[in-house]
Chains A and B, each alone.
Chain A
Amino acid sequence: MPGYRTRQRLWKVVGYILLGLFALIFLAPLVVMIVSSLKADELQLLREMGTIRAFIPTRPSLQNYFDVFHRMPFQRFFLNSVIIVSSIVLLGLFVNSLIAFALARLRWRGRGFILSLIIALIIIPFEGIAVPLLLEVNRFGWLDSYHVQIIPFIAHPFSIFLFYQFFIGIPKDFDEAALVDGASYFRIYSQLIVPLSRPVFATVAILQFKEYWDAFLWPLMVTRGFEYRPLTVGMQTFFGQWPREWGDIMAFASMTSLPVLLLFLAFQRWFIQSVASTGVKG
């Protein structure tokens, strides 16, 4: 077979060229963001934004970052996002795994109905209920608070489903043995099932974290002042201020996306597995 080797090698070269080309497309905007955030001179930034220098930090400086803190309560937005997202994730892990435990490991009347209800609820898109929910929480007097951004999002049908799928795969004999030993159901949940289910806890935590760090529509509607506003809405407010200072805006943008990007780089394999696991539903 003459040429087989060369053809293999050619495929390899073409593969790398394509890989590199796409890498460029996906990286370029992010590199421009970070590089522009390091350019303190706005006129220089604008002069260079359409040239190769948009990718080179000429005379790097952190001045824009200081400006952001000076012009906006960035630390407040950041803290708000951390409080809101970590509350949703932690409370959600507990509440959703607990009901999933009941659905997957206990025998009770109503189990089948509740399970089909949860699966049906997965379909309802949040955007479809946002306006009535706004009316509801307004009646509760909840506007402009942390809890209005936390409590409605703790119970999450798809997370329950992911937990359920995992729990149902754990052999039943474990529970029986523990029950005979006189363990309570809560002990079986907390000391047997939870430790065996770390992967699904990680998956749900990552998916929830990503979804709510990104949340925009809801906080936009339920927060007025800066006090309870998360980063995303803060970013939009900052972006809407004229005249636009692109250097400062890019510093704000970099600081907003950095936590997720860093977490992704640290837990890359977990992130990718989480996303892959969303595909198996149905």
Chain B
Amino acid sequence: MRLNLNRTRREELTAWAFSAPALLLLLLFLIIPFAMAFGLAFTDQRLIPGPLPTRIIGLRNFVRLLNDEVFRKAILHNFIFALVVVPVQSGLALGLALLVNQKLRGVAAFRAIYFLPTVTVMVVVAVVWTFLYSTEGGLINELLRLISGGRLGPYRWLDDPKLAFPAIIILSIWQGVGFQMIIYLAGLQEIPLDLYEAASIDGASRGQQFWYITMPALRNTHIFVLVTTTILAFKLFTQVEVMTQGGPLDATQTMVLHMVNMGYRQLKVGYASAISVIFVLIVLTISLIQRRLLVEEREVA
């Protein structure tokens, strides 16, 4: 009895000791800044303290955000990005996964090639694509000219307010699709093969097998892919910062870029925190929807 008590106590203490480093770090660098964002959003806090003390200004930051032309453009761009990239990239990823899931010789090499952009550093991707988008004699313009027989282009991809954001969307899909492809591939490989065998004995066509076996079996994978891609769409920053800095004429502004410009470049921490709060609320909503959908799935199953 005595021994048991000691052991329980020892186990308790050990557990807290083992957890302490991680908990302390999470508290300091995740929980506190997270709480700070919500507090600072209601102040006029600056990064470098000025002559005046920081004041609580209520909802003024949020009211100002409502009238902030750049912020409105930024958030709109994030939604457009999500609306275009989520279906296109997920669809493409599923297509690629089906393609590399075939029993063809050398298919592993292709899978690796499709994954290469994902392991390429994003700053590098942005730099290389800036080169490809060059107006005079750039590869993409020349390719378009060749295909269209000289009718299309040359376009000023990154300098044209109408084209800059689509240009960034294209390279983002190019970079990100390999990641989703792997997720789909993992999902595909979990579907039992005898389902397909039974279906083909019953005379189901490839198309029917896809719609009635593959797609329903991938339900959770779909949810995961759609949600992670949507969240990534709201985090859009690196490509824009490197290629256009939000220009031309704010055509490529995003929430995170605006937040960095306000909080870091203009030192307006309070205002930037208000942007962070809205950003966090959007991401949390999307994540909670995901968890909800996944929970429902478990209950049904």
Chain A residues with a Cβ under 8 A of chain B: 12, 15-16, 18-19, 22-23, 25-30, 32-33, 36, 46-47, 49-51, 54, 95-96, 98-99, 101-103, 106-111, 114, 118, 121, 123-125, 127-136, 138, 151-155, 157, 160, 179, 185-186, 189, 210, 213-214, 216-217, 220-221, 231-232, 235-236, 239, 246, 249-250, 253, 256-257, 260-261, 264-265, 268, 271-272, 275-276, 278-282
Contact = CB atoms under 8 A, between A and B. Distances in A.
B128 A29 contact: yes
A50 B182 contact: no
B290 interface: yes
Contacts of B142: 50-51
With most chain A CB atoms within 10 A of its CB, the pick from B30, B132, B134, B235 is B30
B141 interface: yes
B11 A108 contact: yes
Given A15-B99, A128-B276, A185-B11, A217 B115 contact: no
Given A26-B174, A131-B273, A279 B183 contact: yes
Given A108-B12, A213-B121, A279-B186, 17 more contacts: A26-B174, A26-B178, A51-B142, A98-B18, A98-B22, A103-B19, A108-B11, A123-B283, A128-B279, A128-B280, A131-B40, A133-B29, A134-B263, A135-B36, A151-B25, A185-B10, A282-B291
A279 B190 CA distance: 12
Given A106-B15, A131-B37, A275-B182, A214 B121 contact: yes
Contact of A125 (B121, B128, B130, B280): B280
29 contacts: A19-B107, A23-B114, A29-B128, A30-B128, A33-B128, A50-B137, A50-B138, A51-B142, A99-B19, A107-B11, A107-B15, A108-B12, A108-B16, A109-B12, A124-B34, A130-B260, A131-B37, A131-B272, A132-B34, A138-B48, A152-B25, A152-B28, A214-B122, A216-B122, A220-B264, A232-B122, A265-B112, A278-B183, A282-B224
B141 A50 contact: yes
A50 B128 contact: no
A256 B118 CA distance: 14
A192 B11 CA distance: 17
Contacts of A210: 119
B179 interface: yes
B29 A235 contact: no
Interface of B: 7-8, 10-12, 14-16, 18-19, 21-23, 25-26, 28-34, 36-37, 40, 45, 47-48, 96, 99-100, 102, 104, 107, 110-125, 127-132, 134, 137-139, 141-143, 174, 178-179, 182-183, 185-187, 220-221, 223-225, 231, 234-235, 237-238, 241-242, 256, 259-260, 263-264, 269, 272-273, 276-277, 279-280, 283-284, 287-288, 290-291, 294
A235 B124 contact: yes
A236 B242 contact: yes
Nearest to B20: A99
Q: Which 6 A-B pairs have the closest CB atoms?
A: A50-B142, A155-B25, A132-B36, A276-B186, A108-B15, A152-B29
B272 A125 contact: no
Contacts of B25: 95, 151-152, 154-155
A277 to B, nearest CB: 8
Contacts of B139: 28, 32, 49-50, 54
Instruction: Name the prevailing secondary structure of the B interface residues.
Output: helix
A28 B288 CA distance: 39
With most chain B CB atoms within 10 A of its CB, the pick from A99, A101, A189, A231 is A99
B210 to A, nearest CB: 14
Contacts of A124: 30, 34, 280
B82 to A, nearest CB: 14
Nearest to A45: B131
A232 B280 CA distance: 25
Contacts of A154: 25
B114 to A, nearest CB: 5
With most chain A CB atoms within 10 A of its CB, the pick from B19, B111, B291 is B19
A99 B23 contact: yes
Nearest to A274: B182
B120 to A, nearest CB: 5
With most chain B CB atoms within 10 A of its CB, the pick from A50, A101, A231, A236 is A50
Contacts of B290: 282
A127 B256 contact: yes
Nearest to B18: A102
A43 to B, nearest CB: 12
Nearest to A101: B18
A21 to B, nearest CB: 10
B22 A155 contact: yes
A155 B124 contact: no
B224 A253 contact: no
A253 B30 contact: no
Contacts of A32: 128, 131-132, 139
